[in-house]
Structure 1
Amino acid sequence: MDLELIRGNTYYLKTPGSLVGVYRLAEGKCILIDSGDRAGNAGLILDTLRQAGLKVQGIINTHAHADHCAGNHRIQAATNCDIYASALESYAIEEPMIGLYGLYSANPLRVLKNRFLLAEPSWVTYKVESDLTINGESFEILDLRGHSAGQIGVVTPDGVLFAGDSLIQPAILDEFSFLYMIDIAGQLQTLEHLKPRPEIFFLAHGGIIPDVEYAIKRNRDLLDNMTGFIKNLLSVPLTREQIIER
Structure 2
Amino acid sequence: MAIDANVPGSYQKFTESLTITNGTNAKIVVDCLLPGVVAAISGEMALPGELLPRQRVWQGGGRVIGGSISSTDGTAKSLLIYVGQLLTTQDATNTGVLALTASGIARATGSFIADGWSPGNAVMLFGPAAARNVGSATQANTGLLAIVTAVSPLALTVNGASFTADAALPAGARLFRVALRTRRGVAVNAGYADNTPPTPLMGGVQDPATFSAPDTGWELGQTNALIVALFAAASALPARIDVMAEVGLR
Pick the structure with more helix per residue: 1
Whether TM-score is above 0.5 comes out as no
The alignment's TM-score, normalised by the length of structure 1, stands at 0.24
Choose 1 or 2 for highest CA Rg. 2
Q: Is the strand fraction higher in 1 or 2?
A: 2
Q: RCO (CA 8 Å, sep 6+): is it higher in 1 or 2? A: 2
